[in-house]
Amino acid sequence: MTPHQSEAHSCLKRGDITMNRIQLRDNKGNLTGWIETVHGGRKQIRDSRGTLLGWYDAASDKTTCARTGRWIGMGEQLTSLL
């Protein structure tokens, strides 16, 4: 997370799946997107409109771009997709 992003946590319950959501905001407080933790510990990032930008799989330690389906790097690099 960059210094211009703040975070707010919330927890959503959908059936048997619990999702944690971290809001990402710019230095003016505008929502730029959020990161959700979904089943199996997989994290996914969405822009402020809710469009899926990519995901991080902890088991493989890889971040993938949703638009291209390509692996973009090792480790959790989700905010680089914003």
Structure tokens at 40: 């199996």
- 7-34 tens-digit pLDDT: 455 555 444 454 789 999 999 999 999 9
Burial class (CB in 10 A: 0-12, 13-18, 19+), 36: middle
Q: Residues of the chain with pLDDT > 70: what percent?
A: 78
Binned at pLDDT 50, 70 and 90, residue 41 comes out as confident
